[in-house]
Amino acid sequence: MPSASQYPAPRLDSRPAETFTATLGDLAARLEVAAPAATGTVFTGVALATDHVRAGDLFLGIKGAHAHGARFAAKAVEAGATAVLTDADGAALVPDGVPTLVVDDPRLAAGPASAFLYRDPVASMTSIGITGTQGKTTTAFYVAAAAGMAASGTIGSIGTTVGDDFFPPVLTTPEAPELQALFAVMREQGIGTVAVEASSHALVLGRVDGFAFDAGVFLNLGHDHRDYHPTQADYFAAKALLLTPPHAKVGIVDIDSHWGRVLAEQATVPVRTTSASGSEAADWRAEDVTLRAHGSEFTIRSPRGERVRFSTQLTGAFNVNNILAAVAALAESGRELADLAPGIAALPSVEGRLQRFDFGQSFTAIVDSAHKPEAINAALRAIRTTTPEGRLIAVLGANGNRDVAKRRMMGRFAAMFADVLIITDDNPYDDDPAEIRASLIDGARSSVVEITEIADRREAMAAAVRLARPEDTVVILGKGHERYHALAGGEIGWYDPDVLREVIEAL
């Protein structure tokens, strides 16, 4: 059987095939800044990291947390950059004779400059931006499925899809030069709809500047992703940026949570609200919801009173919220509600999101990417409520080099739902793996649960499948779509579904 552990080699380049050209003078006019001396200098691409520079690029010298990017201008020119865009401090670092355009804030110019070079590619398609602590990836795939997968694109933590083509992920939301280049590739491929996960980092760092999404979706706000944001208010403000002009033409806000209701009041773009819990105040509602182990069925009611029955093969009440948001975003961007149901019903799974596998085993086997407390809570609750029979056997680890304070809580949430918990390693990097496992076990002890510690991830998965009876569910948490296992000695290739298949076949 071919291994699923290799990303399919992209058939496309991550930059458009057509050569786009612009001059520094034209760009200065577009950005409304003083023209540089070398106005006629031509550039054909944009890059903000020397590793990404191709011949003919404009290199963006941006002040970062560690260094001023303009320090690397000489390296960028060596790699083929024809010009540099930077601020006044950066200009002093650029070698003499290199054509340089000076702006106040080069990071904020990255989006507009890239969109300008590629002739505003996203304008030719329906674009949906999605933010929230949980559900971005799933909602992006629902948008693409509803609009027709073959003519849709998604950009997010699983990577970038362009119809059937695929690019592995670098960041959840790529930096603006890569994002705009991907939009240009999508335009060349005839993509009609694109769904983009907008992380809070991306919103703050201007990665989605330079264009307006047709609709910006806000799903929810938890505590899981706070490392970069000092307070919850700061985290909320970052997410709320998506619903601030010029980022989105209309905002779709899920008001089933506190922060959604706050945002619906505060957003400065026109807002349409959604609710899957029967809120009369919502413009878009899900009604008559039936949840099953293998998905759900419900009716979506539009603000105009239309009612269309939807179904999904994906588990979890939260997916009703995700579908409602995806559907409202597309419908508010001009799609017919009734046309959206077949694609949603046909979506078989989203990679690593409560993904079920049938390798011929008698029990239910699931792989899920949950690696933070709230996501573990949501995933295991969804399995437990829709599969009350049988035992839930969960395999759990925690990443090293981050989230130290969250490990006990991860163990605690897992133990609330699992009958058997197998604690193992999940990207320990150079942290002490035994210490990570001890924190998880410490948190899990607050509930009565059978806990086994098996450091080796493959052995842990093998133990889980050996324990499982036909009525049981085995869930492998943490990696989902990831293709690596990061150990102290370095990363090794790893794909949980492949290992799961191997340990099941060895039964």
Ligand X SMILES: Nc1ncnc2c1ncn2[C@@H]1O[C@H](COP(=O)(O)OP(=O)(O)OP(=O)(O)O)[C@@H](O)[C@H]1O
Ligand Y SMILES: CC(=O)N[C@H]1[C@@H](OP(=O)(O)OP(=O)(O)OC[C@H]2O[C@@H](n3ccc(=O)[nH]c3=O)[C@H](O)[C@@H]2O)O[C@H](CO)[C@@H](O)[C@@H]1O[C@H](C)C(=O)N[C@@H](C)C(=O)N[C@H](CCC(=O)O)C(=O)O
- Contacting residues toward ligand X, per CB under 6 A: 132, 134-138, 157, 172, 197, 219-220, 318, 321-322, 353-354, 368-370, 375, 378-379
Residue 423 φ then ψ, to 5° = -95, 130
Binding residue per annotation — 172?
Answer: yes
Contacts of 333 (CB under 8 A, 6+ apart): 126, 128, 214, 215, 250
The answer to whether 138 is a known ligand-binding residue is: yes
How near is the Cβ of 47 to ligand Y at its closest, in Å? 8
Flag whether 124 is marked binding: no
Q: Is 154 annotated as a binding residue?
A: no
- Shortest distance in whole angstroms from residue 279 CB to ligand Y: 28
Q: How crowded is residue 501: how many other Cβ atoms within 10 Å of its Cβ?
A: 19
Structure token pair of residue 69: 């990017």
Residues whose CB falls within 8 Å of the CB of residue 389, separated by 6 or more in sequence, listed in order: 471
Amino acid found at 4: A
Q: If contact means CB under 5 to 8 A according to the sort of partner, which of ligand X, ligand Y, none does residue 171 touch?
A: ligand Y
64 binds, among ligand Y, ligand X, none (CB under 5 to 8 A by kind): ligand Y
Among 55, 67, 434, 488, binds ligand Y (CB under 6 A): 67
- 369 interacts with ligand Y by CB under 6 A: no
- Residue 134 — φ and ψ, nearest 5°? -130, 140
Binding flag, residue 62, ligand Y (CB under 6 A): yes
Q: Which is nearer to ligand Y, 73 or 147 (CB)?
A: 73
Find where tokens 């362009």 sit: 162
| Binding of ligand Y by 230 (CB under 6 A) | no
Position 355 contacts ligand Y (CB under 6 A)? no
Among 23, 173, 361, 369, binds ligand Y (CB under 6 A): 173
Which residue, 50, 48, 57, is CA-closest to 83? 57
C-alpha 49/C-alpha 69 separation (Å) is 8
Retrieve residue 96's tokens. Answer: 């003499």
Which of 101, 117, 144, 202 touches ligand Y by CB under 6 A? 202
Looking at the Cβ atoms of 37 and 67, the one nearer to ligand Y is 67
Is the CB of residue 415 less than 8 Å from the CB of residue 385?
A: no
Can residue 49 be called a binding residue for ligand Y (CB under 6 A)? yes
Contact letters (x/-) for ligand Y, 85-124, by CB under 6 A?
----------------------------------------
136 binds, among ligand X, ligand Y, none (CB under 5 to 8 A by kind): ligand X
Backbone angles phi, psi at 332, to 5 degrees: -70, -15
65 near ligand Y (CB under 6 A): yes
| In the complex, least distance from residue 130 CB atom to ligand X, rounded to whole angstroms | 8
Q: Cβ closer to ligand X: 113 or 323?
A: 323
Alpha carbon distance 384, 375 (integer Å) = 14
Q: Which residue's Cβ has the minimum distance to ligand X?
A: 135
Q: Report the nearest approach of ligand Y to the CB of residue 358 (Å).
A: 30
Compute the chain's Rg from CA coordinates: 24
362 Cβ contact list (under 8 Å, min separation 6): 468, 469, 470
CB 199 within 8 A of CB 241: no
What count of Cα atoms within 13 Å lies in the side-chain half-sphere of residue 327? 36
378 binds, among ligand X, ligand Y, none (CB under 5 to 8 A by kind): ligand X
Q: How far is the CB of 367 from ligand Y (least distance, A)?
A: 19
Question: Which residue type sits at 303?
Answer: P
Nearer to ligand X, 82 or 319 (CB): 319
| Helix-helix angle 106-117:24-31, to 10 degrees | 120
Based on CB atoms, which residue is closest to ligand Y, 29 or 67?
A: 67
- The tokens 């191997």 sit on which residue? 502
Q: Check binding of 248 to ligand Y (CB under 6 A).
A: no
Among 50, 86, 322, 387, binds ligand Y (CB under 6 A): 50
Coil/strand/helix, residue 198 = coil
Query: Inter-axis angle of helices 136-147 and 318-332, to 10 degrees?
Result: 50
Give the residue with the Cβ less far from ligand X, 187 or 372.
372
Instruction: Please tell me the distance from the alpha carbon of residue 423 to that of residue 161, in angstroms, as a whole number.
Output: 33
DSSP 8-state code for residue 80: T
Q: Identify which of residues 457 and 481 has a Cβ nearer to ligand X in the complex.
A: 481
* Interface contacts to ligand Y, rule CB under 6 A: 48-50, 62, 64-67, 69, 72, 171-173, 175, 199, 201-202, 205, 225
Binding-site positions read 48, 50, 132-138, 172-173, 199, 207
Binding-site positions for ATP read 132-138
